[in-house]
Amino acid sequence: MIREQESVSLENLSDQTLLDTYSQAMKLGLDMNFIEIIKRELRNRGLYSRNEQN
């Protein structure tokens, strides 16, 4: 039997997991395109403003 896999997307992450992901991505110096995608989702949730640093 094949189990249907659920999509994993940033929208499915809890606020805390998304914040932790952003923090780790910044610490590890991951690709800025990836970080921008995370920041966009944080902004959509009201958890990040353009004036914030890290």
Could you report the per-residue pLDDT of 3-46, keeping only the tens digit for each? 666 667 889 999 999 999 999 999 999 999 999 999 999 999 99
For residue 38, the enclosing domain spans 15-44
Given this model, what pLDDT does residue 12 score? 92
Determine, yes or no, domain membership for 4: no
Report the number of distinct structural domains present in the chain: 1
**pLDDT at 8 (0 to 100):** 73
The Cα-based distances of 52 to 5, 23, 38, 43, 47 in angstroms read 36, 13, 14, 11, 10
Determine the straight-line distance between the first and last CA of the chain, rounded to whole angstroms.
45
Residue identified by tokens 């809890």 is 14
Residue 53 has pLDDT above 60, yes or no: no
User: pTM of the prediction?
Assistant: 0.74
Asked if residue 53 belongs to a domain, the reply is: no
